[in-house]
Amino acid sequence: MTKRIFISSTGRTGTQFFSKYLKRMIDNSVSLHEPGTPWLSKPDLLKKQLKDYGLYHMTIGQSKNTHSMYKLSRDYLAEEVSKKKAIDNIIQINRQVESLYESENIVYSSGHIYGLLGLLDEIYKDSRFIFIIRDPRTWIESAMNKTEYSLYGPVELIFRNISLKPSCFYDDPYKHCWHKLSKFEKYCWYYSKLNEFVLSDMAEKENFKVFKYEDIFLSNLRTHHFKELLDFASDFESGPVKTSYFPSLLNKKVDSKSNGDAWQSWDVKKAKILHKHCGDLMKKFGYGHEELWMDMVMADD
Q: What's the CATH code of the domain at 146?
A: 3.40.50
Predicted pLDDT of residue 295: 97
Cβ neighbours for 145, distance < 8 A, ≥ 6 positions apart: 257, 258
Chain centroid to Cα 299, Å, comes to 33
Predicted pLDDT of residue 276: 98
Cβ atoms within 10 Å of 257's Cβ, excluding its own? 14
Strands of 105-109's sheet, edge to edge? 29-33, 105-109, 3-8, 128-133, 208-212
Predicted pLDDT of residue 244: 96
Q: How many domains does the chain have?
A: 1
**Strand locations in 2-139 (E):** 3-8, 29-33, 105-109, 128-133
d(CA 251, CA 46) in angstroms, rounded, equals 27
Residue 236's beta-bridge partner residues? 239
Q: Are 132 and 7 in contact (CB under 8 A)?
A: yes
Cβ neighbours for 279, distance < 8 A, ≥ 6 positions apart: 288, 297
- Residue 213: give the domain boundaries: 3-298
Q: Are 226 and 216 in contact (CB under 8 A)?
A: yes
**Per the confidence metrics, is the pTM higher than 0.85?**
yes
d(CA 9, CA 22) in angstroms, rounded, equals 17
Predicted pLDDT of residue 145: 85
d(CA 185, CA 11) in angstroms, rounded, equals 17
Residue-by-residue pLDDT tens, the chain, 301 positions = 899 999 999 999 999 999 999 999 999 999 999 999 998 888 999 999 999 999 999 999 999 999 999 999 999 999 999 999 999 999 999 999 999 999 999 999 999 999 999 999 999 999 999 999 999 999 999 998 876 667 888 888 788 899 999 999 999 999 999 999 999 999 999 999 999 999 999 999 999 999 999 999 999 999 999 999 999 999 999 999 999 999 888 887 776 655 689 999 999 999 999 999 999 999 999 999 999 999 999 998 7
